[in-house]
Amino acid sequence: MSEKLSFQDLGLSASTLAAIEKKGFEEPTAIQAKTIPVMLKQESNIIAQAQTGTGKTAAFGLPLLDLIDTRGHYVQALILAPTRELAVQVSEEIHSLKGNKDLQVVPIYGGQSMDIQFRRLRKGANIVVGTPGRVIDHLNRGTLKLDKLAHLILDEADEMLNMGFLEDMEEIMKHTPEEKRTLLFSATMPKRIKDLAHKYMGEYELLAIEKETLTTNLTEQIYYEVKHSDKFEALCRIVDLEESFYGLVFCRTKMDVDNTASHLMERGYDAEAIHGDISQTQRERTLGKFRKQKINILVATDVAARGIDINNLTHVINYSLPQDPESYVHRIGRTGRAGNHGTAITFITPAEYRRLMFIQKVAKADIKKAKVPQVKDIIKAKRKKIFQDLEKIMETGMDDRFHKWAEKLQEEHNAPDVLAALLKYSFDDDVNPDNYGEIQDVSYSPKKQMDSHGKSRLFVALGKKDGLNARGLVDVICDRVSINPRKIDDVQVMENFSFITVPFEQAEEIVKSFMEKGKKPLITHAKAKESGGKGSYNRDRGYNQDRGYNKKPRGSYKRKK
C-alpha cells in the first residue's frame, strides 16, 4: 500500500497551502492527490472519474488558483456545471480557497439578472462558473469573451449529458481557443463521454478512484427500523437528543419534503425545504440561511441537494431509503468531511430491510442497527442543556432588577417552590414527556410471532396485481370480519402479496374467515423471515423475488357479498 500524500507533497504554492490550512483541510482525498499534480504540470488534458462527496471541487480549484495570472483582468478559466445550485456552490468554494490572492470568481446562471452578471463580468473576471444555457446567452450578447481562455472544466459531465446539454457544451467549446487545457469530471464513463473527449480533447490522461474510497470512516452510519407512521416522531427525537444538530434530511418526493418540513416548523424547529418546484430566488435564500446556520435543518430531494457542499454538517438523515447504493453514498458523503465527524442515519420499515442490506453490500458500508432514542434520554439531555445555560447566565452576571425580583418572591414563597414554578413556566414544553408520541417496536423476533404489544403479523396472498391498495385491503378484511379498521396496522401492499398487523385475539378469526375448502388459504400467520419484505417469502406457494408467483395472477380481487 502506497504512502499517503499530504497537500505539501502535491506542488501547491505556499499561499494556497496557507489557505488550505485556514480552511481546515487536513489531507487530500484520493481524487485530489491524483488530479492536483497532473493539472499543475499543464502537460495534458484530464478526464477524472469521481463522484459527489470526493472533494472534486478542490481537486480542480486548488491548482487552478495557482495557475491563474492575477495580473490579467480577463477570463482565464471557465467551469461548466449542470445546475444553478452547483454553479453557486463551486464558485463559493473556490472563493473560500483563494486566500489573499487578488482574483475574481464570478458565477453566471439562469434565474439571476443578466445586468448584474454583466456588470460583474465587465469589472474583470478571472474564473467564471456557469450553467451551459446562461454561458451561451452571454456569449451571444458579447458580454463574455473566451478568446484568452486557458482552462475549461466540465463538472459532472455525465449529468450535463443526461440533462440534454450536449449541444450547448459543443457550442461553448467552439468559442474557446484550441491551445487551452480541458478537465472533465464525470461520476460514470458512458460512451457519450468518451465520444465527447475524443472529439474535443484529443490526448488526455484518465484519473479514476476506486468506489471503496467514497465512504468515510469519519461518518458513523446507523439505521432505525420503524413504522412509516413513526418516522417523523423518530426524526424529532434524534434532533432533540443532539446538543447542536445541523443536518440534511432527504425525502424521496417533493410532497414528502413539503410535509416533513411543514411538520418540523409546526413543532418549532428551524427547518426549511428545497425541491424542484421552489423558485430559484427562494432556493438561494434558503441555502444561504442554511450555510449561515440561521436554520439548522434542511429537508431536500436528491436533485435539489446537488451542489450542497458544507464541511461541518453533523447529520445526514435518510428519511426515505435511497433508491440505490450510489445515491446512498452521495447523500452520506455530505457529512464527515474535512476532518469533522458526522452521523448518517437511515430510516427503514421492515419491508425495506433487504434493500438496505443490498445497499450496504454494494457500497461496502458498515451500517449498524440502533434503537430510536428513548424519551427519558432526550429529557435528560434537555435538562442538562438547560442547567448549562443557566450556569452561563449566572457566571456572566445578571441585572439587579432580577435579583430584587427574586428576593421579593422569596419573601412571599418558599425558595424551592419559586424555582420549581419558574422552571415549569419556562421549560415545561421542553421536558414534558407527554409531548412525545409512542414509537412501536417493529423488529420481529424469529422465536415469536406476536410483538410486544400483543399483535400478530399476517401474510395475505393478494397484492397490487389483484387491484388492491392499502385502503382496499383493509376494506376487504372489514367486509369479512367485524374489526375496527384502525386496529389493522402497518399495512404493506406489494406487487404479489401483502402484510398486515392486527391484535392477536382477532388474528385467528381473520385467518379462518378467508379459508375456502379445497383452496390454499388467502391469509396465514407470517413467519418472522416472511415479514421482512419482498423476496423473503418463499414457502410452497412458488414465490420468486424477481418473477413473483409462478402461477398467473388472480386478476382484480372482488369483495365477498
Picking from 435, 467, 486, the residue at the C-terminal end of a domain is 435
Q: What is the torsional sign of CA 47, 51, 54, 57?
A: positive
Do 70 and 131 belong together in one domain? yes
Picking from 213, 232, 247, the residue at the C-terminal end of a domain is 213
499: Cβ contacts below 8 Å, ≥ 6 apart: 351, 457, 458, 459, 460, 490, 491, 492, 526, 530, 531
Residue 561: all three cell numbers together:
357479498
- Quick check: is 328 in a domain? yes
Of 8 and 311, the one with more pLDDT:
8
Output phi, psi for 131, to 5 deg. -85, 150
Number of domains in the chain: 4
State if pTM tops 0.95. Answer: no
Is residue 210 scored above 80 in pLDDT? no
Note down the domain range covering 389.
376-435
Do 397 and 344 belong together in one domain? no
Do 191 and 91 belong together in one domain? yes
The rounded distance, in Å, linking the Cα atoms of 311 and 342 is 10
- Quick check: is 70 in a domain? yes
Tens-place pLDDT, residues 404-451: 888 888 888 888 888 888 888 888 877 777 777 777 766 644 343 444
Tens-place pLDDT, residues 315-341: 999 999 887 777 788 788 878 665 678
Do 395 and 466 belong together in one domain? no
The rounded distance, in Å, linking the Cα atoms of 248 and 424 is 32
Q: Which of 71-75, 158-162, 244-248 has the highest mean pLDDT?
A: 244-248
CATH number at residue 511: 3.30.70.330
363: Cβ contacts below 8 Å, ≥ 6 apart: 211, 214, 215, 325, 326, 328, 329
Average pLDDT over residues 171-182: 92
Can you give the length of the chain in residues?
561
- Report which residue type is found at 88: V
